[in-house]
């Protein structure tokens, strides 16, 4: 519940990109892992100004894990902004920042320092070679319980990225299968954990005005979680003012079925 409270009151005060559907999905997956006493590091490639990373670091602190954030940090003031956010949230001791290209981060060093990963968010470079290198790192550090999340899947701005993601999950189908999709991200895990993570998302809180459906993708069932555009804007505006929980009362009851946006 503390993760949802954070999403509703602090997440949207931090610069960055993250749809409410994904913020709630991250919270649902991480809470489910905590309930099942699954341990391990949380990794993010592509910290930017720390919006999604702050959620990981908060959960890392609460669960006695470490959140590892990898980024080039090549914008003036970017890394100090992130350091400041982590300090303000009092989670800096549970966060490890690696300021270098993800391609040069070694799997062995990460695992020997922080143990295997149970959550890996790939949101760094958007070219095919970036995706292949980042997924290569994920495959080397992930535990059997790990959720690997791909950003900007099916974003028309990055068609090669989507092709690279599809090629990769087909190549690694014995260890990665999609279980959920949103407008911005694809969620994958070991095939043995798929039902469990689908169940976790079906049972976890979603943002106001959202709905969840089941569709077929690459021959198997996955969840599609979506939020109407108007409700997304309302929620983000309230959450940026620190009162995201209030947005629910301004939102029409969510309906099941397709939304065209």
Ligand X SMILES: C[S@@+](CC[C@H](N)C(=O)[O-])C[C@H]1O[C@@H](n2cnc3c(N)ncnc32)[C@H](O)[C@@H]1O
Catalog residues that contact ligand X under the rule CB under 6 A. Answer: 16-18, 45-46, 48, 51-52, 70-72, 74, 101-103, 123-125, 130
Cβ closest to ligand X, residue 102 vs residue 190: 102
Q: Across the chain, where does the E strand assignment appear?
A: 41-45, 67-71, 95-99, 117-122, 142-151, 177-181, 185-189, 210-217, 220-227
Torsion, CA 246, CA 252, CA 255, CA 259, rounded to 10:
-90
Cβ closest to ligand X, residue 17 vs residue 217: 17
Shortest CB 235 distance to ligand X, Å: 16
Cβ closest to ligand X, residue 51 vs residue 206: 51
Shortest CB 130 distance to ligand X, Å: 5
Shortest CB 51 distance to ligand X, Å: 4
Cβ closest to ligand X, residue 37 vs residue 157: 157
C-alpha of 143 from chain center: 17
- Euclidean distance between CA atoms 12 and 2, whole angstroms: 15
Q: What is the DSSP string of 54-121?
A: HHHHHHHHHHT--EEEEE---STTHHHHHHHHHHHTT-GGGEEEEES-GGG--HHHHHHHH--EEEEE
Cβ closest to ligand X, residue 85 vs residue 180: 85
Cβ closest to ligand X, residue 39 vs residue 83: 83
- Euclidean distance between CA atoms 96 and 193, whole angstroms: 27
Shortest CB 74 distance to ligand X, Å: 6
Closest residue to ligand X using C-beta atoms: 16
CB 210 within 8 A of CB 231: yes
CB 53 within 8 A of CB 66: no
Shortest CB 124 distance to ligand X, Å: 4
- Euclidean distance between CA atoms 26 and 17, whole angstroms: 14
Shortest CB 68 distance to ligand X, Å: 12
């Amino acid at each position: 519940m503390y993760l949802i409270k954070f999403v509703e009151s602090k997440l949207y005060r931090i610069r960055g990109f993250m749809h409410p559907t994904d913020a709630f999905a991250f919270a649902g997956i991480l809470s489910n892992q905590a309930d099942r006493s699954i341990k391990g590091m949380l990794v993010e490639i592509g910290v930017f100004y720390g919006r999604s990373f702050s959620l990981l670091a908060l959960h890392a602190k609460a669960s006695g894990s470490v959140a590892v954030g990898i980024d080039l940090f090549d914008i003036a003031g970017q890394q100090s902004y992130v350091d400041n956010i982590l300090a303000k949230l009092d989670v800096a001791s549970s966060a490890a920042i690696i300021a270098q290209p993800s391609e040069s981060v070694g799997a062995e060093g990460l695992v020997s320092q922080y143990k295997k990963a149970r959550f890996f968010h790939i949101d760094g470079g958007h070219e095919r070679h970036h995706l292949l290198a980042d997924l290569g790192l994920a495959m080397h550090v992930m535990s059997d319980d790990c959720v690997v999340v791909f950003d900007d899947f099916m974003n028309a701005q990055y068609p090669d990225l989507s092709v690279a993601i599809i090629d990769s999950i087909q190549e690694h189908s014995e260890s990665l299968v999609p279980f959920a999709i949103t407008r911005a991200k694809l969620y994958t895990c070991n095939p043995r954990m798929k039902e469990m993570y689908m169940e976790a998302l079906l049972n976890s809180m979603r943002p106001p005005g959202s709905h969840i459906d089941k569709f077929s993708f690459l021959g198997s069932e996955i969840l599609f979680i979506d939020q109407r555009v108007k409700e997304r804007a309302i929620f983000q505006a309230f959450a940026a003012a620190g009162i995201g929980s209030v947005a629910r009362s301004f939102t029409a009851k969510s309906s099941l079925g397709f939304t065209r946006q």
